[in-house]
Amino acid sequence: MHANANPEVDAKDLATRVRGFIDHQVIPVEREIETNPEIRAGLRTAARAAGVFAPSAPTGYGGLGLSMLEQVDVLEESGRSLFGPLVMNCAAPDEGNMTLLEHVATPSQRERYLRPLVAGDTRSAFAMTEPAPGAGSDPAALTTTAVRNGADWLIDGRKWFITGADGAAFFIVMARTGADAATMFLVDADAPGLSVGRHIPTIDAGFTGGHCEVVFAHCRVPSSAVLGEVDHGFANAQVRLGPARLTHCMRWLGVARRAHEIMLGYVVGRELFGSRLADLGLAQHLIADNEIDIAASRSLIRTAAATIDQRGRANHETSIAKTFVSEAVGRIVDRSVQLCGGQGVSHDLPLARFLAEVRPFRIYDGASEVHRWAVARRAVRRYEATRTGGATHG
């Protein structure tokens, strides 16, 4: 269970209410949400009033305190609109950063950074990825450094593809502090030496604050900015990375499910070659494959979520879920586009937008190939352990 789970919240009832909120309040105005901050602010107020705001965040700071397993249906329903997680305050990167701050930050850091983040008063960013040859899918390639300078630290380095950087109130920064060690720092957006650069043009556009370049040039922070222990950054980051990639799966599955529903509405009403499109064998093949991908994705997500709740970590399970779901979501949306024909590739329906938004998920949070490599290595280690009588490692 979540460390601060709320026993008064019925997750199934909450998921039903979230679906109603998304269907009746968010989807009708989602074309205006991106460009009209007043609509966005109004929906956040409505989400609070509906009791669906900050479902992942701890109760002690104003969230609903759901366990990972309880979040599965709730975040899936939130994802049925690209902007549902944003207005419900369970979108990346803030949702993952809330988890990290809850478990790793000091009490004073939680008051300063977590409380306003849960309230929706601020946004945040997680600054780990760097341009080549720096850290990407391989965190060990980290080139940004932090060195002690009296009682302070000086951070130097370039980050890029930092989601939500434009407008973030603070950054969680990963920097090298030893030959094989890294440390996380909480850095305010107005810290001297920190500058947010260009928005990197990408095929997706659904993340508030974009994907930006961020430069740290002798950025001075006090020792109180250290998040977790010095030199334990890689280990502490695992508190965030596994659950965050899984909640991504939940939200993107919601997008895929909505694409599937839009397609079903189209094929049952479209008549050609003397019958409904829904009754043609080739169409039914695609519909069935979507149903299978949705069911399999949901099952893998649930397995990984339950494992996190039970053991605290589920690296193997989240790698499997992330790899399968990221690819399944793309297949589901692509089949939906195909069956809707010209309307599928037009912007009369949201399917073309969905297709652009979900494609990068096969790269974000670890490329599919990297996760496959990790899954294979664990499988080999488990096999070798059983042959030698040693312990297995997940």
**394 residues of the chain, pLDDT tens digit each:** 354 456 778 999 999 999 999 999 999 999 999 889 999 999 999 999 999 999 999 999 999 999 999 999 999 999 999 999 999 999 999 999 999 999 999 999 999 999 999 999 999 999 999 999 999 888 889 999 999 999 999 999 999 999 999 999 999 999 999 999 999 999 999 999 999 999 999 999 989 999 999 999 999 999 999 999 999 999 999 999 999 999 999 999 999 999 999 999 999 999 988 999 999 999 999 999 999 999 999 999 999 999 999 999 999 999 999 999 999 999 999 999 999 999 999 999 999 999 999 999 999 999 999 999 999 999 999 999 998 876 555 5
Distance from C-alpha of 299 to C-alpha of 306, rounded to nearest angstrom: 11
**What is the per-residue DSSP string for 293-332?**
HHHHHHHHHHHHHHHHHHHS--HHHHHHHHHHHHHHHHHH
CB count within 10 Å of CB 219 equals 25
With 0.85 as the threshold, say if the pTM is over it.
yes
Give me Rg for the CA atoms of the chain.
22
Domain ranges of the chain: 11-91, 124-227, 235-388
**What is the per-residue DSSP string for 271-298?**
EETTEEGGGSHHHHHHHHHHHHHHHHHH
As assigned by CATH, the class of the 124-227 domain is mainly beta
162 membership: H or E segment, kind and range: strand 152-163
CB 99 within 8 A of CB 240: yes
Q: Is 292 left (phi over 0), alpha (psi -120 to 50) or beta?
A: alpha
CATH architecture under which domain 235-388 falls? Up-down Bundle (1.20)
Looking at residue 9, its pLDDT comes to: 84
CATH of domain 11-91: 1.10.540.10
Looking at residue 140, its pLDDT comes to: 87
